[in-house]
Amino acid sequence: MTVAIDRATGKRRGDRAPRPGLGQRVKNGLQKYWYAYAMIAPVVIVLGVLVGYPLARGFYLTLTDANSLNSARTIGVNHIDATYEFIGLDNYQDILFGPTAYDRFWSHFLWTVFWTAACVALHYALGLGLALMLHQKLRGRTVYRLLLVLPWAVPTFVTVFSWRIMLADSGALNQLLGALHLPQPAWLEDTFWQRFAAIMVNTWCGVPFMMLSLLGGLQSIDSTLYEAAEMDGASAWQRFRHVTLPGLRAVSSTVVLLGVIWTFNQFVIIFLLFGKNSAPDAQILVTWAYQLGFGQQPRDFAQSAAYGVLLLSILTVFTSFYFRWLKRNDQLAV
Amino acid sequence: MSTTTLDTTKTAPAPAAVPVRRTRRRGERGPLGTALLHGGLALASLIALAPVAWLCYLSLGPDKDDYLHPGGIAGKLTFSNYSFVLQHTGFLDWFKSTLIVALGTTVIGVLVAATTGYAVSRMRFPGYKQLMWVLLLTQAFPIAILIVPMYEIFSELGLIDTYWALIAINCSTAVPYSAWLLKGYFDTIPFEIDEAGRVDGLSPFGTFFRLILPLARPGLAVAAFYTFITAVGEVAFATTFLLDDSKYTFAVGLQTFVSEHDAQWNYMAATAVLIAIPVTVFFYLVQKNLVTGLTAGGTKG
């Protein structure tokens, strides 16, 4: 019995419909595939043109010394052709191991990793806490939910400016802290507090999504499981540990992955919170790459693109390990 | 912020901690638990609401430095910022640009993505795994990787400072995203409907257009809405690629109030409120579906 079930799930993993053998598949399925390929064609074409081609081109740029002084450009009526040259892997060599590699890449890398880990942990912990509270039978639950979703509903670029006003030197937050006789940090000037503020604002922006997703997950857990656990004398903590958390696993693994990806690439908050050309130490890799490519003169296109390639590689490696880890855990659990 | 978590952990074990003999139904709490729950949720709501409420409040103060002494605003509330923004700034131009870019992205994105969402929901074909992987991976694309080559390509094509450039760029994220969302929605439509269609002699295209698409209208609406919102909120490319201030989208226009030399916080606040209110209202109308769509698409991938 168990063996049969194992085999069935094993076969379906990653490819849910049971498939016949290869020869038969090609013979029987050709017309079915024809439909499938016709249907995915629009997306494949759009992605090829809008993502694939620029990506290939961007990768080529990283192998050159392109910047805004030697790229093709038009000044008035004169068109100047590109004069940048192929320099191989020098950009990567310079970014990763060059003389100032630590100041430019590695320090930002460490901060980005810390930023991602801290933000996602806070998102998840606060989101789960609020979801658990909202899941209780409670008067005014809908009102609370609507209010708590607000940070997600308002466009990020709007709320970041609101935070900027509140965090300003004698803004609302410092006035409040002053009234309570607490120290008033220079949120937008001091590196430590800049980082603190960035994490705080991002947490504020990201919790609602986690909260709603986890609330959806909570609502989908079968309530009889809780009754059974209670019958067996499980305490509230044990019920949370052994019923709630496993029940949330599917949702959790998705939202954590999305959270990591989004936070790692979070551009808007840091870019707008500190304005242009300030807070060099609070820049994460994404905003730093943008800074290199568009925030300075001359614009260093090649290095900026190289940062982009590095970022994508980091995320790709992370995602594949994450999936492998999930899969292994699933096997253990099933 | 951290207080809210503390409250949560406290409230959960609270009912069990009190040893009571009488039978208490599940979900029932003592009064302390209820108070803590309300306290925690109220505090969290307050934190969620505060920045936005503050913005609304500041938008009513007539002077750009009013945020420094907010107490004074209450005595001189006025809508003058709003009338100034509407009459003397590029607000209406920005509104038009935002609408063009966001609607363009939405229409193209959802149209293109719909068939793919259906195909990956119903069919297994060689390359399926790779396609799903690509769809997921494009979510992970940092803007840094495309912005430089796109800038180069668009300057060569003479498309810098046009809406087309932005629509195309937004589509590069919106298309895989919509496809992913729609797959999740199509998965919830029973496969029996497809089978019934086949039995009646419809081709896969016929099944899709005549049976599934009409049923999937709510899913399409969610994908469309999400794409729209994402396109409205796009900052990096809009900031870089739009040069003419009459073509700015809201995300760029809002930044113009806060330059390095001068910060007109009062106009900024009024503009922000004008932008936020309609978006927020729309958002509330569909928010429940948004999460279902998102996580359904994700968990079943």
Contact A304 B269 (CB under 8 A): no
The upper half-sphere exposure of residue A75, i.e. CA atoms within 13 Å in the direction of its Cβ, equals 8
Q: How far apart are CA A34 and CA A42, in angstroms?
A: 14
Residue of chain B whose alpha carbon sits nearest to that of A216? B292
Tokens of A244: 């709630």
**Which sign does the torsion angle of CA B119, B124, B125, B128 carry?**
positive
**In this complex, which of B47, B143, B280 lies closest to A153 when CB atoms are compared?**
B280
Chain B residues in contact with A170 (beta carbon < 8 A): 68
More reliable by pLDDT, A32 or B129: B129
- Is pLDDT above 90 for B143? no
Q: Using 50, 70 and 90 to split pLDDT, how confident is the model at A122? A: very high
- Is pLDDT above 90 for A119? yes
Name the minimum distance, in Å, from the CA of A3 to any CA of chain B.
Answer: 24
Taking all residues of chain A, what is their mean pLDDT, rounded to a whole number? Answer: 83
Q: Using the structure block, give the residue that is written with the tokens 């359904």.
A: B296
CA dist list (Å): A27 to A24, A33, B127: 5, 11, 17
Query: Which pLDDT score, from 0 to 100, does residue B98 have?
Result: 92
Residue of chain A whose alpha carbon sits nearest to that of B16? A236
Q: What is the mean pLDDT of residues A224-250?
A: 88
Tokens of A284: 């994460």
ipTM confidence? 0.80
Q: How far apart are CA A23 and CA A28, in angstroms?
A: 9
Query: Which pLDDT score, from 0 to 100, does residue A45 have?
Result: 92
pLDDT digits (tens, 9 = 90+) for B57-102: 888 887 777 777 777 777 778 888 888 888 888 889 999 999 999 9
Query: Which pLDDT score, from 0 to 100, does residue A77 have?
Result: 66
Query: Which pLDDT score, from 0 to 100, does residue B277 have?
Result: 86
Q: How far apart are CA A137 and CA B38, in angstroms?
A: 11
Tokens of B11: 């409230």
More reliable by pLDDT, A276 or B33: B33
- Is pLDDT above 70 for B1? no
Contact A240 B254 (CB under 8 A): no
- Is pLDDT above 90 for B136? no
Contact B250 A315 (CB under 8 A): no
Contact A208 B48 (CB under 8 A): yes
Count CB neighbours of A301 within 10 A.
Answer: 27
Q: Using the structure block, give the residue that is written with the tokens 């900026």.
A: A304
Residue of chain B whose alpha carbon sits nearest to that of A227? B26
Query: Which pLDDT score, from 0 to 100, does residue B17 have?
Result: 44
Name the minimum distance, in Å, from the CA of A85 to any CA of chain B.
Answer: 15
pTM of the predicted protein model: 0.82
Name the minimum distance, in Å, from the CA of A93 to any CA of chain B.
Answer: 18
Q: What is the mean pLDDT of residues A149-155?
A: 87
Q: How far apart are CA A292 and CA A301, in angstroms?
A: 7
pLDDT digits (tens, 9 = 90+) for A83-116: 778 887 888 988 899 888 888 889 999 999 999 9
Query: Which pLDDT score, from 0 to 100, does residue B288 have?
Result: 67
Contact A39 B44 (CB under 8 A): no
Residues 6+ apart with CB under 8 A from A163: A197, A201, A204, A273, B51
Name the minimum distance, in Å, from the CA of B79 to any CA of chain A.
Answer: 18
DSSP B237-267: HHHHH--STTS--HHHHGGGGB-SS-B-HHH
